[in-house]
Structure 1
């Protein structure tokens, strides 16, 4: 009987010979080539099987997170370079503004103060809002997006909204806008001074991982949250490479840090896991203070003003104006010389024995006696701490308002600003009562006779903040004519080589 092909005892013996032939000892040189080819095929087969098994294992491991409600990004997050070269400008920044549908129409007044057609980014809300038809208000032209609903699946301990706001960096990165170097987070009541923001970010290599912002002014806030953290209301900047890593890791971080209160705490913890430190820039202002911000703003640190937050909870910056009107007033000198806004310049009128402190574009203080440069650059404490409304401590030194009205300054606030020829500016200030009480001192009365102060200056050198910073000097110009006692003229200029304040 004929054995079927491949069957029976002889068939099994034939298959065994075929398998063993992989390892036969070659008798001719050509057989070495055959052996090498078969060995390569077997090696590739083993490697392929191993990779399939490993991928299956990793896939099953990732699925274990589903029980925690974690929603992974819909697409893989790559780490591409921006491919962008040349100096930074506003178009390289993508703003990621956190808002809420319930409060957007009121808070949008703050965003519209600084948002321009060249500004890129979005305001992220928790749900859609209805925009009025035939609108012309700029605040209704700011791009509005609704956060991806995946944020609702995460646990939280005290603030559900903080989860959504933290995840806005994920939402924003998924838009994949071209030529973005920096992602800047902020709240809908944060006011950015974008020219200065661009100047600050120009110091850093956007192809490296950077996490840049400001701390809280109240130590009780830093102790409760963190010192080495950028507070979100003041805004912070994340370079594109870090944003890519952060977007990929965000969902896992939200799950691990569900017990934190704020969105900025969650982001800081996730950035810490990536190993990137916090870089502080003193121009980002959370303004975790209560009451009158005058003393702090009138002694602004020697750094470009980048942002202001919490103004809705503070006394207006300017007397007899509401917060929005105050900011509109500040924006006028800012538009003329953005790098100089709020920069403090101090000088002494030796003839009258006066000390003069100028916060350019904002206010002027005149004292009837000499104060040192250190005292003048130390903020008057016209405010309290954010959480407990106490007298401190703060992350900077303060000096108290003296109980004697005669030892307090006569205060002037900016009324207007304009360009003058030869790339200069002129700002003028008028006296406004800060309710410091009545002083019968004759020298004090001499100051209060001055109803208007004119300040002239050259526009700030664009490279000013790229050099070692130094405060400029000022000098009082002698008046003439009938207005001599009622007007004072001050010129801001570079300090001379050996000049001291």
Structure 2
């Protein structure tokens, strides 16, 4: 035997190895050929089974196992949660100072709901005096902001960083960061209705611009003005916080915090999504005309409440706001929503701004005119008669060229709590001026107007906007100075036509 054949190894003799190496050697006999095919088939089946088992195990595991992403944090988990957006998904960051807090805290206490509203009042320093306390609203003191450059407003740097400091808190289940001022008031049910229409997993920058053109020209038409509120989705906030400090130095010449935020978001490439209902209220004087002809959109916010005349006459601004909030709490989605109806027998036109005011014209006035706000106000900066970012019509000082105005007296739920009754009383100006014409005299026999309605479903705002209809009840009869009107859905093919 050769030396190779006699050599031993840990695997056997060289002959045994040679025999093994000839496992698939081409056979010389037909019987051996059949045996070869059988052995090859068994081997293929075995290998295939092993591969299939490994693939199946990996594929099944991949359904529940996601390799960790080192660039994500635990805070990102909230973005992927399912279900409709609710108030718990919104984190408010309100810019305030201990100096302004005593005057403006009462407004915040009206809209902030303890144990429901999430967020913080961000102060410039720790409140020391009792009048500087924030009451039921939690607060935090801003981080040091004095290291950043600024040209005209250092406090704007601090307020711009609220989105960063709110994000760094790492609170769970946050879909939206909403920033505002301590003189901003939010109607949170309607804010939820608005934000629920947007995909919070996408990068959104939502708000409204200024009503005064001079302000938009000075700053930007495509900027969300901070007093009216700025809503930033979680994915956008996650990108924004990485660049905002650098932006603050790059755009130190800007005046406001909202303009700095806008500049940073533009660097990310996200445009403003303009949403009616966010009200900067850059106006002076009487806001009546604007509020009596609100856009067909949910009322989301009001700003500058202490900068213009009270919303309701013969009340303080604080009492006026409380009156509006009482109506809002009864039917949040319907507040300030405008509808029109006609008394064709008397040739009267009626405009209702639910929860606020009602107007009767002793003539047939087209809808296009009824929905246009009276200009009872002036521009913010120059106190001019315009221009504004919406059309207006003049409010004459002649009482014979104005409607007869009624203001909300009270609002209450019906016994079933599915509807409401709102009662409006005729307003008499302090100067006592009124039109002595016969047609106006007939209108002024109406002292109270009782408006009934079914509560408005918030889901309506997920559909295409459509103004409601109203009709005069009891065949238009006026009993003891009372008129009754019902707000309802418009019927098929119904139009509001003079």
Give the equivalent residue in structure 2 for 1:100: 97
For the structure 1 residues 230 and 480, does the alpha-carbon distance in structure 2 shift closer, same or farther, using more than 3 Å as the test? Answer: closer
SS in 1 for 2:146: helix
2:261 aligned with 1:267, yes or no?
yes
Unaligned runs of 5+ in 1: 1-75
Give the equivalent residue in structure 2 for 1:447: 443
SS in 2 for 1:112: helix
- Structure 1 CA distance for aligned equivalents of residues 136 and 354 of structure 2: 32
Instruction: Write the mapping of 1:359-374 to structure 2, written as runs, cut at 5 A.
Output: 359-374=353-368
- Structure 2 CA distance for aligned equivalents of residues 418 and 438 of structure 1: 30
State whether residues 185 and 237 of structure 1, in contact with CA within 8 Å, keep that contact through their aligned partners in structure 2.
Answer: yes
Select 1:129's aligned residue among 123, 127, 130. 127
Select 2:474's aligned residue among 451, 475, 478. 478
Select 1:305's aligned residue among 284, 287, 299. 299
SS in 1 for 2:394: coil
State whether residues 479 and 487 of structure 1, in contact with CA within 8 Å, keep that contact through their aligned partners in structure 2.
Answer: no
Displacement of 1:436 after TM fit?
Answer: 8.4
Deviates more, 1:216-225 or 1:404-413: 404-413
- Structure 1 CA distance for aligned equivalents of residues 391 and 169 of structure 2: 43
Instruction: Write the mapping of 1:366-385 to structure 2, written as runs, cut at 5 A.
Output: 366-385=360-379
Give the equivalent residue in structure 2 for 1:193: 187
2:465 aligned with 1:469, yes or no?
yes
2:106 aligned with 1:109, yes or no?
yes
2:464 aligned with 1:458, yes or no?
no
Instruction: Write the mapping of 1:25-36 to structure 2, written as runs, cut at 5 A.
Output: none
RMSD (Å), alpha carbons:
1.9
Instruction: Write the mapping of 1:23-422 to structure 2, written as runs, cut at 5 A.
Output: 80-82=76-78, 83-117=80-114, 118-130=116-128, 132=130, 140-149=135-144, 151-422=145-416
Query: Which structure is larger by alpha-carbon Rg, 1 or 2?
Result: 2
- Structure 2 CA distance for aligned equivalents of residues 257 and 129 of structure 1: 30
- Cα-to-partner distance string for 1:380-434 (whole Å, 9 max, x where unaligned): 0000011111110000000111353212011111011111144111000101124
TM (normalized to structure 2)?
0.82
Displacement of 1:351 after TM fit?
Answer: 1.1
- Structure 1 CA distance for aligned equivalents of residues 434 and 458 of structure 2: 43
Give the equivalent residue in structure 2 for 1:44: none
- Cα-to-partner distance string for 1:447-498 (whole Å, 9 max, x where unaligned): 12211110000111232111111111111113799x6251111111111112
- Structure 1 CA distance for aligned equivalents of residues 412 and 467 of structure 2: 22
The runs of at least 4 consecutive aligned structure 1 residues that moved more than 6 Å come to none
Give the equivalent residue in structure 2 for 1:494: 489
For the structure 1 residues 392 and 300, does the alpha-carbon distance in structure 2 shift closer, same or farther, using more than 3 Å as the test? Answer: same
- Structure 2 CA distance for aligned equivalents of residues 344 and 480 of structure 1: 20
Deviates more, 1:416-425 or 1:309-318: 416-425
SS in 2 for 1:238: strand
SS in 1 for 2:470: strand
Displacement of 1:80 after TM fit?
Answer: 2.5
SS in 2 for 1:80: helix
Displacement of 1:437 after TM fit?
Answer: 3.4
- Structure 2 CA distance for aligned equivalents of residues 391 and 339 of structure 1: 31
Displacement of 1:132 after TM fit?
Answer: 3.9
Select 2:424's aligned residue among 423, 429, 432. 429
